[in-house]
Amino acid sequence: MIKKIIVVIITLFISASSFSQINNTSVYSFFGIGDKNNSATSEQLSMAGVGVALGESHRINLSNPAANAALQFTNYTLGLVSKNSWAKQNGETQSAAATYLSYMAMGFNVGEKGGVSFGLLPNTSVGYNLLSINYDDDGNILDVSSFKGEGGTSRVFLGFGYSPVKGLNLGLQGDYVFGKITNSIVNKVVDATLATKYETISNISGFKLNAGFQYTTKISDFTQVYAGGSFILGNDIEAKEKEYLYTVNPLSTSIAKDTILNNTNFSNFKNPLKSTVGVGVGRDNKWYAGVDYSFQKAAEFRGSIYNSPNVQFSDYSKFAVGGFYTPKYNSILSYWNRVTYRAGFYMENSGLMIDGEKNGNNFEEVNNIGISFGVGLPVGKQQLSNLNFGFEFGKRGKTESNLVQENFINFRMSLSLNDKWFQKRQIN
């Protein structure tokens, strides 16, 4: 059993390199340290991310460490996501796509009342590649600028849950955040021999602490009410930022000619307390319907080169409703009766405000709205392992006020495998 744990830990950390690939397709990932990633499994995201109140015996819950107390099996899970987006601005549309590993995690029970989980998943992500062309009054090209960004931050987590009394789970989780973000702007003036390149490289690290609870009680012989909360405590993320400006050959922008600027900056990203609460009603292994609400005060960027006069940060919030239904999880006669069907809907204020007109007084909120659905296909003899597929359709931002509207389709796939490690030996 110890050998199994060691193998899984090594696999998780070797896979950290997979999170350094381009894993975003949004122009809005240019701002700050990138887009925040959802702390949820593919199964939860197929229900719009709902599930902070739900603890299951055979499935890790990445949004609330208190759910670890419900684990009765050893669960391995990993997820993949394929993002596809279409950005609209001023009557023009550009498309982008990215596919990447979205998380790896493992959880297991400790005795009858406790459980542990650990793993690796993205924290924020940056991924954009844009082109801007300036013309004179006669329609001739004056200069061309390309904007490119990649990287992001990942987090390694270790969580523990415990049930002090029947129906109540408490949990605590620690995260280590780390990553690297590279942004660059290459400008080429027509008829100029060389181009100029402005580049920033940020190495980021910090810690997070997440506390949670879940409470479950029966309201009938087959129906239960669920309540839960997850609270990511206020934390600081540190960044060491390298800032460069140099001339380059337009055909080989990665090789510097003459360095004009070479600075080192240190900055601090202050994240206030983030609270997520949820309630739901359902029946074990049969159905669940719930509502989650998240809220966080505006983040603060101190001494950062990412500060911009055209960007402000406001309070973050998200409302989501969703659930699942399994006709009969232990059905012998019909495979499709053992399939789990999921769906959800959400509205989200990302906390990002942009002045698209660049006049200093017209900041517009960037809001998201989307629907999701998916299925969980049982695999293996135990009927508790699943191959999950999910789809998400949504819209982000708007075309008014010189902003960008993104329509997106996300496809997710995850594998959730279960095993029973900690079994008492029977002596005959």
Is residue 39 within 8 Å of 231, Cβ to Cβ?
Answer: no
Residue 427 domain-assigned (yes or no): no
Q: Is residue 426 part of a domain?
A: no
The whole-angstrom separation of Cα 47 and Cα 197 is 43
Whether 313 is in a domain gets the answer: yes
In angstroms, rounded to a whole number, what is the distance separating the alpha carbons of residues 201 and 342?
41
Asked if the structure places residue 424 within a domain, the reply is no
- Assess if residue 428 is contained within a domain: no
Tell me if 175 is assigned to some domain: yes
140-164 pLDDT, tens digit each: 888 888 888 888 899 999 999 999 9
The identity of residue 87, as a single letter, is A
Residue 425 lies in a domain: no
Q: What's this model's pTM, rounded to 2 decimal places?
A: 0.86
For tokens 């909360």, the residue is: 229
Determine if residue 216 is left, alpha or beta; phi over 0 gives left, psi from -120 to 50 gives alpha, anything else beta.
beta
| 201 close to 99: Cβ distance less than 8 angstroms | no
Backbone angles phi, psi at 174, to 5 degrees: -110, 135
Task: Report the CATH number at residue 392.
Answer: 2.40.160.60
The C-alpha angle 423, 156, 349, rounded to 5 degrees, equals 115
Q: Which residues of 140-151 are buried (b: 16+ CB within 10 A; e: fewer)?
A: eeeebbbbbbbb
Decide if 295 is inside a domain. yes
State the number of CA atoms in the 13 A half-sphere of 190 facing the CB. Answer: 8
Domain interval for residue 90: 2-419
* H/E run at residue 340: strand 340-354
- Token pair 């523990």 is at which residue? 160
Residue by residue, pLDDT tens for the chain (428 residues) are 444 444 444 444 444 444 544 555 677 887 778 888 888 999 999 999 999 999 998 899 999 999 999 999 999 999 999 988 888 877 778 888 888 888 999 999 998 899 999 999 988 888 888 777 888 787 788 888 888 888 889 999 999 999 999 999 999 999 999 999 988 888 888 888 888 888 889 999 999 999 999 999 999 888 999 999 999 999 888 988 888 898 888 777 667 777 888 888 888 888 899 999 999 999 988 999 999 999 999 888 777 666 677 788 899 999 999 999 999 888 888 889 999 999 999 999 988 888 877 777 788 888 999 999 999 999 876 567 889 999 999 999 888 878 888 899 999 999 998 876 555 544 44
CA distances, 144 to each of 40, 187, 190 (Å): 40, 6, 8
Number of domains in the chain: 1
